């Protein structure tokens, strides 16, 4: 089911073959443009037309749902040495929140903390145009379901999990939920896994993401997945009511224009601002 243009209020690019908005996931909020999984990153993404931040969710020792990608805090906070390799599940919330989660990226972001999921939801409540991908790491689904219901955000969440079976299970607690899973690896694996999911008619999946490896960038960007396969993937997913999402690790206006003309309407970007500019230039 496509997110309506009324909700998002945007239409960055439309191909003649199939008019429709291009939307894209800002990976961890846009990890190359802001400190990943911080409120600053999510706000950065929401300010860009068409961008939807991805929010990684896990749980602290005392049961608080927080937003951080890694199992440990060392890479994205200034946690002291004795905590850097400790699992988030072994760290109390108060301790985790005492560390800076922004200065490592740039001094401008000093003072950013690992966000509580409730803080993210506070940013979304009453703002139906603000959507979020929730990448579920270590969370109580029952507790999450209650929180989403309390905030009235059911229609603003897209759930993310690497296991398609988990996506099916999410529909038990979240009837009608939008779910996304991905296929990564070499082109052969992507083709094989896609064929397997197609056999199930993409059961339980609303969006299917392909990682899009690059063969070369000079003189033009050439992707490892050929256009014939991508065109087939667009047709098969669309026939099943599923949105195909691509994660190009290299992109420019020319390469994005080609992908959009194949019918792709969903993407993933580590640099959402640069991505949006490339889309603009592809018009």
Return the pLDDT at 7.
33
Q: Is 161 a catalytic residue?
A: no
Considering the entire predicted model, what is its pTM? 0.91
Average pLDDT per block of 10 residues along the chain, 283 residues long: 35 46 97 99 98 99 98 98 98 99 98 99 98 97 96 97 93 92 97 98 97 96 97 98 98 97 98 97 83
Q: For strands 157-160 and 178-183, give the pairing.
A: parallel
DSSP per-residue string spanning 75-139? TTS---TTTTTS-GGGS-HHHHTTS-SSTTT-GGGTT--PPBHHHHHHHHTT-TT--EEEEESS-
Return the pLDDT at 172.
86
What residue ranges define each of the domains in the chain, with the CATH number in brackets?
5-281 (3.20.20.190)
Catalytic residue selected from 44, 69, 161, 211: 69
Return the pLDDT at 19.
57
């Amino acid at each position: 089911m496509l997110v309506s243009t009324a909700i998002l209020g945007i239409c960055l690019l439309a191909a003649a073959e199939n008019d429709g908005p291009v939307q894209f996931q800002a990976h961890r909020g846009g990890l190359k443009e802001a400190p990943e999984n911080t409120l600053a990153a999510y706000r950065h993404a929401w300010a860009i037309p068409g961008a939807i931040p991805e929010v990684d969710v896990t749980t602290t020792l005392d049961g608080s749902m927080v937003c951080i990608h890694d199992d440990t805090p060392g890479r994205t906070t200034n946690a002291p040495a004795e905590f850097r390799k400790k699992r988030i599940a072994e760290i109390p919330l108060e301790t985790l929140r005492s560390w800076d989660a922004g200065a490592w990226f740039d001094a401008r972001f000093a003072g950013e903390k690992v966000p509580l999921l409730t803080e993210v939801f506070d940013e979304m409540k009453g703002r139906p145009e603000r959507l979020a991908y929730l990448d579920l790491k270590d969370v109580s689904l029952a507790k999450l379901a209650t929180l989403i219901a309390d905030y009235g955000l059911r229609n603003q969440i897209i759930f993310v999990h690497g296991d398609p079976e988990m996506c099916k299970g999410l529909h038990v607690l979240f009837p009608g939920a939008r779910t996304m899973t991905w296929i990564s690896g070499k082109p052969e694996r992507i083709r094989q896994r896609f064929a397997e999911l197609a056999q199930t008619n993409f059961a339980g999946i609303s969006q299917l993401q392909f990682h899009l490896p690059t063969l070369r960038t000079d003189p033009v960007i050439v992707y490892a997945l050929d256009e014939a396969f991508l065109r087939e993937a667009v047709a098969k997913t669309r026939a099943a009511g599923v949105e195909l999402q691509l994660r190009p690790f290299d992109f420019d206006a020319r390469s994005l224009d080609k992908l959009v003309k194949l019918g792709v309407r969903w993407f993933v970007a580590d640099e959402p601002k640069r991505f949006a500019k490339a889309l603009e230039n592809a018009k």
